[in-house]
Amino acid sequence: QVQLVESGGGLVQPGGSLRLSCAASGSIFRIKTMGWYRRAPGKGRELVASITASLYTNYADAVKGRFTISRDNAENAVYLQMNSLKPEDTAVYYCNTYPPSSAYWGQGTQVTVSS
């Protein structure tokens, strides 16, 4: 079964950093554009960053200069390095293809930025 599993979330103070990981169970994801998404309390899910198979990246304006998306196709993994975290980054973070597929939504990983 093809699936995506997120990890690496936690509680961090404003200005801190976290690195999220997304483990893909199928090699099909190596040729896919992948994305990190988030859903903040009371809001809809939004795209945070995406990365193509050829490593072209794109970021939401709210995270530009603070977040970095990367991937390791040999490990079937996608990462999100988050620096200079702000309270408004608090959300559940998910990885999926871009555009997203309903078949691949996982449980996500909670990121809470609070002092």
What digits encode the pLDDT tens for the residues 32-57?
Answer: 999 999 999 999 999 999 999 999 99
From the number of C-beta atoms within 10 Å of its C-beta (0-12, 13-18, 19+), residue 78 rates as buried
Q: Which contiguous run of DSSP H or E holds residue 7?
A: strand 4-7
Q: Are 23 and 13 in contact (CB under 8 A)?
A: no
Token representation of residue 31: 């040729």
Token representation of residue 16: 């801190």
Q: Are 15 and 33 in contact (CB under 8 A)?
A: no
Mean pLDDT of the chain: 95
What digits encode the pLDDT tens for the residues 59-73?
Answer: 999 999 999 999 998
